[in-house]
Amino acid sequence: MAEKRLLVVGAHSADFVWRTAGVIAKFVAQGGEAQVVALSYGERGESGVLWEEPGQTEEKVKQIRHREAEAAAAHLGANLTAFDLGDYPLRVTEEATDKLAELMRDFAPTVVLTHPDTDPFNPDHPEAFRMTQRARLMTSGAGVESGFRTAPPSEFLVFEPHQPELCGFVPSVFVDITSVFAQKQAAMAEMKAQQYLQSYYAERAGHRGNHARKVTGAKDIREAEAFMRIVPNVAESL
């Protein structure tokens, strides 16, 4: 198992592509291992184009969304696990939370990424945050020896939402994805049910690249992705 392990938990099967595909690709390129969990397929609320097809069914939409997400994950070098909990609303159960916690114990991620805890336009995203946060706490315990199987505490960050200013999202980390931006574009192109988002998130990567250049003075940064830390990181020095 790789020393660095990234776990990305999305409410819907395409969320990881828009928000963190660049980081996933770069993480893997640097020798890490990446696991993506899609809590639902977004079959009801995020697959409008697919529902235009005559005779469409929910099961067919799920199958299409699964194929799209698998193909996108393959471009990034990540593994995909689908929980199929349903969307709009995402119905989080104790059993599903236990399942995610068990996955965390097995995978022992060093970094966990998910949605912010607030989204006035999407009811599923905050549910995904709460489920991920709870599962992570159940996995690590109180950071000491426990009477159940644990994994070491991970870094915990949220990725950028569609409307950051309305979701309490204030970036504390920018990641330069210039070297892997072509992989992000390839992954986004697989999500044919939501083609309208491809140009939006390509432009967003350019915006964040501009911000990263201003922070660092590194003129070679063209694209970046933004994240906000939920728990502090620990460093040997500043």
> pTM score, two decimals?
0.96
Residues 6+ apart with CB under 8 A from 32: 2, 3, 4, 5, 6
Residue 234 maps to a domain:
no
Alpha helices in the chain (DSSP H): 15-29, 58-76, 94-107, 124-140, 181-190, 196-216
Residues 6+ apart with CB under 8 A from 118: 126, 166, 167, 168
Q: In angstroms, rounded to a whole number, what is the distance separating the alpha carbons of residues 191 and 64?
A: 10
Residue 238 maps to a domain:
no
Q: In angstroms, rounded to a whole number, what is the distance separating the alpha carbons of residues 107 and 104?
A: 5
The CATH number that applies at residue 139 is 3.40.50.10320
Question: pLDDT for 56-81, tens place per residue?
Answer: 999 999 999 999 999 999 999 999 99
Question: pLDDT for 150-180, tens place per residue?
Answer: 899 999 999 999 999 999 999 999 999 999 9
List the beta bridge partners of residue 224.
Answer: 176
Residue 192 maps to a domain:
yes
Is the pLDDT confidence value at 22 over 70?
Answer: yes
Residue 182 maps to a domain:
yes
Residue 136 maps to a domain:
yes
Residue 237 maps to a domain:
no
- What's the mean pLDDT when you consider all of the chain? 95
Residue 235 maps to a domain:
no
Q: In angstroms, rounded to a whole number, what is the distance separating the alpha carbons of residues 139 and 144?
A: 11
CB 109 within 8 A of CB 67: no
CB atoms within 10 A of CB 31: 9
The predicted structure's pLDDT at residue 148: 78
Q: In angstroms, rounded to a whole number, what is the distance separating the alpha carbons of residues 111 and 49?
A: 34
Domain count within the chain: 1
Residue 122 maps to a domain:
yes
Using 50, 70 and 90 to split pLDDT, how confident is the model at 193? confident
Using 50, 70 and 90 to split pLDDT, how confident is the model at 140? confident
Structural domain boundaries enclosing 97: 5-229
Q: In angstroms, rounded to a whole number, what is the distance separating the alpha carbons of residues 193 and 43?
A: 10
